[in-house]
Amino acid sequence: MERQGEERPAHVMSRRLFTFATVAAALSGCTDADPRGGSGTNTAPPPRIPASSTPGAVPQMTRTHAPTPPGKDSIVAAFKGRIPRQWGLEAPGTVNKLSAGSRGIALTFDCCGGPGGNGVDQELIDTLRRTRTRATFFLNFRWIQAHPKLARSLAGNPLFEIGNHGTRHVPLSVTGRSAYGIRGTASPAEVYDEVMVNQQALRRLTGAPTRYFRPGTAYLDDVSVAIVRRLGLIPVSFSINGDGGATYPAPVVYGEVAAAKPGDIIIAHANQAQGGTAAGVARALPVLKAAGLKPGWLNLV
């Protein structure tokens, strides 16, 4: 995602020095691992939402009225047999930049959930609160279950908006494609469950439909994009990888975030306190302010 001609501080280490295996290990740590050493696939059915799994509704900056999304049977019938033609971080219909003409940027933080992914970067959250910095938190279903009070606090803070980061934190595919060794959903029915089980949990959390969806690993195919949009959500990718799946040290996080330009969507993580995300973001915020780049909500159309 690095753009040609972009200048960076000379002392900042390039993210290219971080291997694919390093990032893959970090991302696979946010999903259920196969004890036999497989791809990290979680083949269990999506969890049901017990009445007590999420806190009560709280005010949230999102839609209060939205059309009722189609049911699972309708989605399966509409997309059965559709063959995907594109796969990746930027499948057609995915948004990776703010609306045209935007003068700001968007800071987005994934909370991935599951074994290895249920942590909390409290330093990062405290920094955003202290500096009054707007941000979008993409919450995974299992992370919400692990941290119901914190999820409620994030959803109730007027600085923050909440996005859907899936139910099992897997790539979104109708053919079972994998990303970083994590096997994705394998049918329209599985895509529906990956999106809507968590969407229901988030509605209980925020009191309103959540508008944005980012799959685990951020990979998806074009058929899955169409399903997400049919369900009334906007698939969101990114233009700047801020922390490399929480593997970058603070100087690299600083270099990536401080290099943002108007319209950029930055992805980072709020579930890995051991990484350099908090320190790097804290150092970059004054640089962004000096450049007139005020972080705001996604405000996508």
3-state secondary structure the chain: CCCCCCCCCCCCCCHHHCCHHHHHHHHHCCCCCCCCCCCCCCCCCCCCCCCCCCCCCCCCCCCCCCCCCCCHHHHHHHHCCCCCCCEECCCCCCECECCCCCCCEEEEEEECCCCCCCCCCHHHHHHHHHCCCCEEEEECHHHHHHCHHHHHHHHHCCCEEEEECCCCCCCECCCCCEECCEECCCCHHHHHHHHHHHHHHHHHHHCCCCCEECCHHHCEEHHHHHHHHHCCCEEECCCEECCCCCCCCHHHHHHHHHCCCCCEEEEEECCCCCCCHHHHHHHHHHHHHHCCCCECCCCCC
What is the model's pLDDT at position 216?
Answer: 97
Distance (Å, rounded) from C-alpha 124 to C-alpha 243? 12
Q: What is the pLDDT along the chain (301 residues), one digit of tens a residue?
A: 333 333 344 333 444 444 444 445 455 445 443 322 333 434 445 555 443 333 333 444 445 567 899 999 999 999 999 999 999 999 999 999 998 888 899 999 999 999 889 999 999 999 999 999 999 999 999 999 999 999 999 999 999 999 999 999 999 999 999 999 999 999 999 999 999 999 999 999 999 999 999 999 999 999 999 999 999 999 999 999 999 999 999 999 999 999 999 999 999 999 999 999 999 999 999 999 999 999 999 988 6
Distance (Å, rounded) from C-alpha 262 to C-alpha 292? 9
What is the model's pLDDT at position 101?
Answer: 84
Per the CB < 8 A criterion, the answer to whether 260 and 288 are in contact is yes
The pTM (predicted TM-score) of the whole model is 0.84
- Strand 135-139 relative to strand 106-111, pairing: parallel
CATH topology of domain 89-290: TIM Barrel (3.20.20)
Distance (Å, rounded) from C-alpha 219 to C-alpha 88? 5
